[in-house]
Amino acid sequence: MSISIEGITKHFGSFQALRDISLEIPDGQLVGLLGPSGSGKTTLLRIIAGLETADEGRILFHGEDVTRLHVRERRVGFVFQHYALFRHMTVAQNVAFGLDVLPARERPPAAEIRQRVQMLLEMVQLDHLAQRYPAQLSGGQKQRIALARALSMKPQILLLDEPFGALDAKVRKDLRRWLRALHEEFHFTSVFVTHDQEEALELSDQVAVMSAGSIEQVDSPQKLYAQPSSRFVFDFLGQVNVFAGQVEEQLLRQGEAWVHLPEPSPAPALQLYMRSHEVRLQTAPAAYAHLPLRIESISLVGAEVRLELSPVGWDSEEPWEIGITHAQFNSWQPSRGDHCYAVPQVAHAIAQGTDTPETLHWQAGEMDDPAAMI
Ligand code: ADP
Ligand code: MG
């Protein structure tokens, strides 16, 4: 079932929590709402659910206006970060709860409820715990039960608000994978709130990045990461290296550092934003880039070796961070305090006073001195 969000505005007193939000969620998609705390994610989710009313705008499910429908009539399932299970009820009773409290004329026969509960518990792979009480479950198991409970009413729309927020990293990762599989198998349309960019990028078909009550960008995870539409999205989506300088013809300069731009820029001042994988490190500068760095720390984390670097003869607000492969690390064998040079392959230029990045590419032919390559 598709969800259309049209021009939603919401105030709490004089505070504007949502500013003219519009978003199309196609049938069967898993969409992540990603943004810092206070950006309005929960408020938007509650408006979709019917738990909160908007000041202006409409919500449509499959083309039908549900703006004025009560939460019960919208038939959505939801899971919250702390979806307190009923402590005095067993797991099976918790999952059956929504069905048990239906008015008699809508309530399925008891045998059918039992069967549906059994099926849902099998689906979340916890049927062996049916007679346990919530206190006897781990955090991850509780959230899976909360999800089974949300699905008991056979919703076509599933709303999740930071469902894994309270769990530890390993359990979160398992549950993410499992939620994705479940989503693919049962084809509901899901909206998933998180402030964790990795979680949003891994799980979602599309991610809507929110900031201060507005949607900054909606795109696939790949596009969002490779082509952020603003400074905010850039910063929020992960570590980024920035070189800010003054433009003299085609040269961007700051202190002792400079980069020859692939094309002339009309702006007097530019910031180049570069993700770790868009920059190469060399032991000598390239012909088109002179960005000296000093190695401040080396951490061998997971698949890559991460270097924290500070500028030499120029300034940057944040330290730079660049990942290299273990093979590169082993052949180069750098130590703390060593100097090296950053060579941009791709950069996203943001002119002073604007907020829209323009992507710059340097041609392979402009790279030189193979001996300097790491
Ligand atoms: P998020 O989920 O992104 O952290 P919320 O949607 O919970 O953000 O909140 C957005 C803003 O609206 C916050 O500044 C919050 O304090 C405010 N807010 C949310 N709910 C209420 C409420 N019931 N009354 C007053 N302010 C609220
Ligand atoms: Mg929230």
Residue among 371, 349, 49 nearest 193 (CA): 49
Residue 320, domain member (yes or no): yes
Please tell me whether residues 50 and 167 are part of one structural domain. Answer: yes
Residue 234, domain member (yes or no): no
Span 72-96, pLDDT tens digits = 889 899 888 776 789 999 999 999 9
Counting atoms of ligand 1 from 1, which one is nearest the CA of 35? Answer: 3
Over residues 233-243, the mean pLDDT reads 93
Centre of ligand 2 from the C-alpha of residue 160, in Å: 10
Please tell me whether residues 59 and 175 are part of one structural domain. Answer: yes
Please tell me whether residues 38 and 93 are part of one structural domain. Answer: yes
Total structural domains in the chain?
Answer: 2
DSSP letter at 90 equals -
Residue 115, domain member (yes or no): yes
Q: Does pLDDT of 251 surpass 90?
A: yes
Q: Does pLDDT of 123 surpass 80?
A: yes
Q: How sure is the predictor about 186, in pLDDT bands with cuts at 50, 70 and 90?
A: confident
Looking at per-residue confidence, does 369 or 173 come out higher? 173
Least confident of 1-15, 147-161, 176-190, 307-321: 176-190
Q: Does pLDDT of 366 surpass 90?
A: no
Please tell me whether residues 221 and 248 are part of one structural domain. Answer: no
Residue among 214, 192, 218 nearest 18 (CA): 214
176 SS3 class: helix
Residue 14, domain member (yes or no): yes
Residue among 255, 231, 230 nearest 245 (CA): 255
Counting atoms of ligand 1 from 1, which one is nearest the CA of 13? Answer: 25
Residue nearest to atom 19 of ligand 1 (CA): 43
**Which ligand lies nearest to the CA atom of residue 81 in the structure?**
2
Residue nearest to atom 16 of ligand 1 (CA): 38
Q: How sure is the predictor about 164, in pLDDT bands with cuts at 50, 70 and 90?
A: confident
Residue among 33, 59, 3, 23 nearest 204 (CA): 33
Centre of ligand 2 from the C-alpha of residue 189, in Å: 20
Q: How sure is the predictor about 370, in pLDDT bands with cuts at 50, 70 and 90?
A: low
Centre of ligand 1 from the C-alpha of residue 226, in Å: 30
Q: Does pLDDT of 138 surpass 80?
A: yes
Q: Is the dihedral of CA 38, 39, 43, 49 positive or negative?
A: negative
372 SS3 class: helix
Give the pLDDT of residue 131.
96
Q: Does pLDDT of 108 surpass 70?
A: yes
Dist CA 209 CA 71 (whole Å): 25
Is residue 56 a contact partner of residue 8, using CB atoms and an 8 Å limit? yes
Q: How sure is the predictor about 369, in pLDDT bands with cuts at 50, 70 and 90?
A: low
Percent of the chain with pLDDT over 70: 98
Please tell me whether residues 94 and 119 are part of one structural domain. Answer: yes
Paired tokens of 63: 């083309």
Please tell me whether residues 183 and 298 are part of one structural domain. Answer: no
Is residue 86 a contact partner of residue 56, using CB atoms and an 8 Å limit? no
Give the pLDDT of residue 365.
56
The last residue of a domain, from among 203, 227, 251 = 227
326 contacts: CB under 8 Å, gap ≥ 6 = 300, 303, 304, 305
Distances in whole angstroms, Cα of residue 155 to Cα of each of 134, 160, 181: 23, 13, 17
Please tell me whether residues 306 and 278 are part of one structural domain. Answer: yes
Give the pLDDT of residue 17.
98
Residue 170, domain member (yes or no): yes
Please tell me whether residues 252 and 217 are part of one structural domain. Answer: no
Over residues 13-21, the mean pLDDT reads 97
Give the pLDDT of residue 54.
97
Give the pLDDT of residue 98.
87
The last residue of a domain, from among 162, 196, 227 = 227
Query: Distance between alpha carbon 118 and the CA centroid of its chain, in Å?
Result: 33
Residue nearest to atom 22 of ligand 1 (CA): 12
Residue 306, domain member (yes or no): yes
The last residue of a domain, from among 194, 227, 260 = 227
Ligand 1: residue of 8, 9, 12, 34 to mutate (most ligand atoms within 8 A of CB) is 12
CATH at 175: 3.40.50.300
282: Cα within 13 Å, side-chain hemisphere:
21
Give the pLDDT of residue 212.
97
Element (H, E) at 330: helix 326-332
Residue among 234, 318, 217 nearest 278 (CA): 234
Q: How sure is the predictor about 226, in pLDDT bands with cuts at 50, 70 and 90?
A: confident
Mean pLDDT of the chain: 92
Q: How sure is the predictor about 177, in pLDDT bands with cuts at 50, 70 and 90?
A: confident
The ligand 1 site (C-beta within 6 Å) comprises: 12, 15, 17, 35, 37-43
Residue 233, domain member (yes or no): no
339: Cα within 13 Å, side-chain hemisphere:
8
Residue 232, domain member (yes or no): no
115 SS3 class: helix
Counting atoms of ligand 1 from 1, which one is nearest the CA of 195? Answer: 3
Q: What is the 3-state secondary structure (H, E, C) of 267-282?
A: CCEEEEEECHHHEEEE
For residue 131, give the amino acid letter. Answer: Q
**Dihedral-angle region of residue 57 (phi above 0 means left; psi in -120 to 50 means alpha; beta otherwise):** left
Paired tokens of 274: 């570069």
Centre of ligand 1 from the C-alpha of residue 41, in Å: 8
Residue among 246, 243, 201 nearest 224 (CA): 201
Is residue 374 a contact partner of residue 281, using CB atoms and an 8 Å limit? yes
Q: Residue 96: give the domain boundaries.
A: 3-227
Residue recorded with tokens 């919250």: 80
Q: How sure is the predictor about 364, in pLDDT bands with cuts at 50, 70 and 90?
A: low
Q: How sure is the predictor about 200, in pLDDT bands with cuts at 50, 70 and 90?
A: very high
pTM of the model: 0.86
Looking at per-residue confidence, does 172 or 231 come out higher? 231
CATH at 362: 2.40.50.140
Please tell me whether residues 106 and 42 are part of one structural domain. Answer: yes
Residue nearest to atom 17 of ligand 1 (CA): 17
Is residue 259 a contact partner of residue 272, using CB atoms and an 8 Å limit? yes
Please tell me whether residues 116 and 76 are part of one structural domain. Answer: yes
Give the pLDDT of residue 139.
86
Residue nearest to atom 14 of ligand 1 (CA): 38
Counting atoms of ligand 1 from 1, which one is nearest the CA of 33? Answer: 3
Dist CA 33 CA 45 (whole Å): 9
Q: Does pLDDT of 333 surpass 70?
A: yes
Span 279-305, pLDDT tens digits = 999 999 988 999 999 999 999 878 899
Counting atoms of ligand 1 from 1, which one is nearest the CA of 44? Answer: 6
Centre of ligand 1 from the C-alpha of residue 63, in Å: 28
Please tell me whether residues 24 and 96 are part of one structural domain. Answer: yes
Residue recorded with tokens 């919530």: 134
Please tell me whether residues 257 and 319 are part of one structural domain. Answer: yes
